[in-house]
Amino acid sequence: MRLFIPGPVNVEEDVLKVMSSPMISHRSKSASCLQQSISENMQILWNTKNSILLSTSSGSGLMEAAVKSLILKKGVFFSLGAFGKRWYEMAIANGKEADIYEVEEGYSNKAEFIDSILKKGCYDFAAITHNETSTGVENPLIDISNVMKKYSDIIFAVDTVSSTGGVDIDVDSCKIDFCVTSTQKCLGLPPGLSICSLSDKAINRTKYVENRGYYLDLLTLYEYTINKDYQYPATPSLSHMYALDYKLNKIINIEKKENRFQRHRLLADITRDWARDRYKLLVKDNNYSDTVTAVVNSRETDLKMLSSKLKDQGYVFSNGYGKLKDKTFRIAHMADTTIEELKAYLETIDKLI
């Protein structure tokens, strides 16, 4: 079956083969070298000198770690949709003071509005979703980061779960203190591992936050990597680490970052052109995602029937998320999807609608 959903994604056979590599001791020098290699390549991918940490969890694990370890007084969450709201809910569930500001589906967060909220001076943590898979909106990260640079006392956190590996992200230029992603989307790996970068400012903040938890304490994770030669307090998923190290090498040294990002842009253009001709796009302010397109079901297509028919053709279809179910559907064009594969999928939909 070919997956055209916003994660998990199809995983190449060579990557799956690497995951079956023999186990080693997670306390060995080989494990340290493996993690060091991953860290150095993630720094290249993210254009950063910040520290890199791993967690054997989905991206939600490190997102929860951020609210537990980095909110000292009060956090604010600027939400594009379902996943921005989830991050806010994590903060509340962990007893943190937090506010959320949401936009109508299809719109991005505006830098000017974020500035007006931060001027109130009551927040020490601000989080945005870079790419919202429920709506197909990509936030204007550079514009928002230019606002965030005015507030040196605020930790700037960015969810790049569905954009890292598909879109160029410059962590250092944008002064991102906490940047998080996970393996099952644009990186083209199975789910189960998340990655974050942590600035010196963020590391310093953790030292003043009490009750950071245990397994997801960012300070403990960081200090272990420093004092234990890139190792972790708990046993990590070595199979995922093998695959991530292998895949990062392919992205950086074989396909090349620029070529990968250009391919994602082309896939997005093809999908959007197709959607405009047949339906409507959900995005309303031209801040389109290059990794997933949300299509308004303007033809009132029976999406349940379409999904069933596509399954018979060997495809997994993605309906709208949450309250957008049946009102929209989504086409993911991320990770290692080729132009030929995407066109074949779109042509198959054409035959069925």
Residue 79: per-residue pLDDT = 98
Tokens encoding 179: 């940047």
Could you give the residue ranges of the DSSP H alpha helices within 136-256? 141-148, 200-206, 218-227, 238-249
- The pLDDT value recorded for residue 148 is 98
Work out the average pLDDT over 160-186.
98
pTM exceeds 0.95, yes or no: yes
pLDDT band at 247 (very low <50, low <70, confident <90, very high): very high
pLDDT digits over 272-315, tens only? 999 999 999 999 999 999 999 999 999 999 999 999 999 999 99
Q: For 40-78, what is each residue's pLDDT tens digit?
A: 999 999 999 999 999 999 999 999 999 999 999 999 999
14 burial type by CB count under 10 A (0-12 exposed, 13-18 middle, 19+ buried): exposed
- The band of 164, judged by pLDDT with boundaries at 50, 70 and 90, is very high
> Nearest to residue 87, comparing CAs of 108, 110, 65, 64?
64
Tell me the pairing of strands 292-296 and 51-55.
Answer: unpaired
Rounded Cα distance between 264 and 244, Å, is: 20
- pLDDT tens-digit profile of 165-175? 999 999 999 99
Q: What does the CA dihedral 306, 312, 313, 314 come to, rounded to 10 degrees?
A: 110
Q: What is the mean pLDDT of the chain?
A: 98
Confidence of residue 180 (pLDDT cuts 50, 70, 90): very high
